[in-house]
Amino acid sequence: MTPDDKAQAGQRRADLLLAIFFTLLGLAVSYFAFIMPDLAQRRIHSATAPGVVPLMLGIVLTVLGALLTLRAARLMGPGSWADFFAIFRTRASLRVFAALVMILIYTLVMIGRMPFWASSGIFMFAFVLMMEGYLARPRPPMGRVFMWAAITAVGSSAAIYYLFAELFLVRLP
């Protein structure tokens, strides 16, 4: 088996696992959207209930996940799980893992413990610095990346705050 064949075998196993995950996620989203209150007691039409859009998204996610599951199972072919785990030793996997960790820190730790504009600005600054600086190959000059991260963080967090808090009148955490 050539290295390309091993990479494809690992990718097929990753496709199968992700397909099963997305199918289960779609089922969970559909279920929780379905059991949301429909606000009929307040004489609100059921088509405007808060669970309608999540239910549709959950159904679409379930169908697409099931289709990917069928495709991945059909194309499974030879290979071992070692080929699958080799995927996680790539630079792209490191970037995905770093992004996931940063997003989880932002949503689970920062939001709610500090003003929204500050947590969003810090997140955007760190995200740009990590992805465009430390994890980029070839690594650009860090001074330029630092400035770009600061401009992006200040501009986008101010724009997002103004848009949602001032124009849409959404109460932000």
**Structural domain total, the chain:** 2
Chain centre to alpha carbon of residue 36: 23
Residue 147 has pLDDT above 80, yes or no: yes
Amino acid (one-letter) located at 144: R
Q: What's the pLDDT at 76? A: 73
Per residue in 56-104, pLDDT (tens digit) is 999 999 999 999 999 888 887 666 667 777 777 888 889 999 999 999 9
Rounded to two decimals, the pTM is 0.64
DSSP labels, 102-125 = HHHHIIIIIBTTB-HHHHHHHHHH
pLDDT in tens, 13-68: 888 889 999 999 999 999 999 888 776 667 777 667 778 889 999 999 999 999 99
CA dihedral 11, 16, 18, 19 (to 10 degrees): 130
Same domain, 171 and 98: yes
Query: Of 40, 65, 89, which residue constitutes the final position of a domain?
Result: 89
Is pLDDT of 105 > 90? Answer: yes
Shared-domain flag, residues 139 and 156: yes
Domain holding 163, by residue range, is: 90-173
pLDDT single digits (tens) 125-145: 999 999 999 999 899 999 999
Torsional sign, CA 89, 91, 92, 95: positive
Residue 100 and residue 83 share a domain: no
